[in-house]
Amino acid sequence: MTQPRITPSEVEVAEAAKTLLPNGVALYTLASEDFEVLRISFVFRAGSALQQAPFSASAAANLLAEGTHNMTAREVAEQLDYYGSWYDVNIDRDYAYINFATLSKFFDRTLAVAEEILLRPTFPEEELRTYAAKRRQRLAIDRTKVDVQAREAFARALFGAHHPYGISSDEAEYDRLTRDDVADFHRRFYTAENCFVVCSGRIGEHELQAVGALAAQLPHGEAETAIRFPAPETTHAAFVDHPGAVQSSLRLGRLLFPRQHPDFVGMQVVATALGGYFGSRLMQNLREKHGYTYGVVAAMVNFEREGYFAVAAQVGTDVTQEALQEIYKEIERLRTEPMPEEELALVKNMMTGEMMRILDGPFGIADVTIENILCGTDNTAIGENIRRIRQMTPADVQTLARKYLAKEDLVTVIAGARRPNS
């Protein structure tokens, strides 16, 4: 695989070679002989937004390796450990990501274990109960923290308490989760129709054929109509009382659009200027000038069906209102005053530098490739996004801030010990 070609304003990344398997699974390959390792990523449209039984999506993903028709959980773990292979599972609202990484010399043995995990999981009852008990306890502990309370309240405020992106299920639902719930979710969504595969690293013809043979065994699912989501129901202000908290957790933002929207990249520039790096405006104000916080971030967040802008910070409860006003002030300053050229140049360099860091190696390129596939595009989008960032002017930044960040449109969520004055 050719490494990214970089100039001050241009990035080119090799396209992934695509093979369409007989069962409809798309197999993408990013081959590089420069590395002794390879990674295979199976991406399923099997996120938590699709579940009917609470926590069944995460349980299905996390229990794949906890027992198969031919291997116990211990045998799976021992095999992967013996060959130094890496297995990882991640799940978000929309997708589940199943990753295997191995030295090329142990590829065949690792793929044999991967086949068991992907095609023959059994979701043993005892493993489910252990998993559910641990997750319930962890969630109960997490929900004593103001940042978790603010994050969940912010999702409810943006989307509504019953929207798949806004639901926060009670931890007691873990006790009601059954093996049938988990197995049914797996049967419905871990199918050929819901999957694509990305291979990166030392992928030769043998490896490609073997991964293709595995992916070709993924079963077809039942014909299902697209799951419809209700329209978001946004609440513009929410307060979560946390008696005794020494800090308040703040979340500000609003629903906007997913990554495919023409203004998404421009709003990433706006978010970076506000709180996307250490020298950003909010960091300079809240941390360096006033000492209200150790850190504050601003970002654009992308889901499959929605996207939103968000600011997050934790501040002392005694300065909650003051910090909130400073955040509003910095957003308004971006809307009313053109950004200095020098500051915008720094923001652009920070964003392109971070992209270079991500693209430094085949696995980073694979991650970006996956993101592009999910957005319905390809790796030409990387260079196009860099060009759009480089072309942004102070007037463009101000126009976007004025268009999308009016105070009356913002959702404000506070979790803390006392309700601040309005």
The angle subtended at Cα 180 by Cα 217 and Cα 122, nearest 5°, is 45
Which whole number is the average pLDDT over 76-103?
A: 97
pLDDT band at 138 (very low <50, low <70, confident <90, very high): very high
Question: Percentage of the chain with pLDDT > 90?
Answer: 86
The gap from C-alpha 373 to its chain's centroid, in whole angstroms, comes to 14
pLDDT band at 238 (very low <50, low <70, confident <90, very high): very high
pLDDT band at 356 (very low <50, low <70, confident <90, very high): confident
- Please report the pLDDT score of residue 35 as a whole number: 81
Structure tokens at 290: 């006033």
Which whole number is the average pLDDT over 414-420?
A: 76
Residue 178: exposed, middle, or buried by beta-carbon count in 10 A (0-12, 13-18, 19+)?
middle
**Cα(30)–Cα(285) distance, rounded to whole angstroms?**
43
> Between 34 and 110, where is the model more confident?
110
pLDDT band at 7 (very low <50, low <70, confident <90, very high): very low
Task: For the chain, list the domains and their CATH numbers.
Answer: 5-215 (3.30.830.10), 237-416 (3.30.830.10)
pLDDT band at 135 (very low <50, low <70, confident <90, very high): very high
Instruction: Give, rounded to a whole angstrom, the gap between the first and last alpha carbons of the chain.
Output: 56
Q: Does 82 score more than 90 pLDDT?
A: yes
Placement of tokens 């960091």 in the chain: 283
The gap from C-alpha 360 to its chain's centroid, in whole angstroms, comes to 20
Q: Does 169 score more than 50 pLDDT?
A: yes
Q: Does 421 score more than 70 pLDDT?
A: no
Which whole number is the average pLDDT over 352-375?
A: 90
Which whole number is the average pLDDT over 59-87?
A: 97
pLDDT digits (tens, 9 = 90+) for 239-273: 999 988 999 999 999 999 999 999 999 999 999 99
- Please report the pLDDT score of residue 360 as a whole number: 82
pLDDT band at 211 (very low <50, low <70, confident <90, very high): very high
Structure tokens at 132: 């559910």
Q: Does 6 score more than 50 pLDDT?
A: no
Task: Decide: 185 and 58 in contact? Cβ < 8 Å.
Answer: no
Is the Cα dihedral 23, 25, 30, 34 positive or negative?
negative
Report the mean per-residue pLDDT for the chain: 93
pLDDT band at 8 (very low <50, low <70, confident <90, very high): very low
pLDDT band at 5 (very low <50, low <70, confident <90, very high): very low
Structure tokens at 59: 């349980």
Q: Does 70 score more than 60 pLDDT?
A: yes
Write the secondary structure of the chain as one string of H (helix), E (strand) and C (coil).
Answer: CCCCEEECCEEECCCCEEEECCCCCEEEEEECCCCCEEEEEEEECCCHHHCCCCCHHHHHHHCCCCCECCCCHHHHHHHHHHCCCEEEEEECCCCEEEEEEEEHHHHHHHHHHHHHHHHCECCCHHHHHHHHHHHHHHHHHHCCCHHHHHHHHHHHHHHCCCCCCCCCCCCCHHHHCCHHHHHHHHHHHCCHHHEEEEEEECCCHHHHHHHHHHHCCCCCCCCCCCCCCCCCCCCCEEEEECCCCCEEEEEEEEECCCCCCCCHHHHHHHHHHHHCCCCCHHHHHHHHHCCCCCCEEEEEEECCCCEEEEEEEEEEHHHHHHHHHHHHHHHHHHHHCCCCHHHHHHHHHHHHHHHHHHCCCHHHHHHHHHHHHHCCCCCHHHHHHHHHHHHCCHHHHHHHHHHHCCHHHCEEEEEECCCCCC
**Cα(126)–Cα(29) distance, rounded to whole angstroms?**
38
Structure tokens at 351: 């964003």
Closest of 336, 422, 352, 362 to residue 391, by C-alpha: 352
- Please report the pLDDT score of residue 34 as a whole number: 82
- Please report the pLDDT score of residue 355 as a whole number: 87
Q: Does 233 score more than 90 pLDDT?
A: yes
pLDDT band at 418 (very low <50, low <70, confident <90, very high): low
- Please report the pLDDT score of residue 359 as a whole number: 86
> Between 39 and 420, where is the model more confident?
39
Q: Does 333 score more than 80 pLDDT?
A: yes
- Please report the pLDDT score of residue 361 as a whole number: 81
pLDDT band at 10 (very low <50, low <70, confident <90, very high): low
pLDDT digits (tens, 9 = 90+) for 278-291: 999 999 999 999 99
Residue 238: partners with Cβ closer than 8 Å, 6 or more residues away: 153, 154, 156, 157, 411, 412, 413, 414
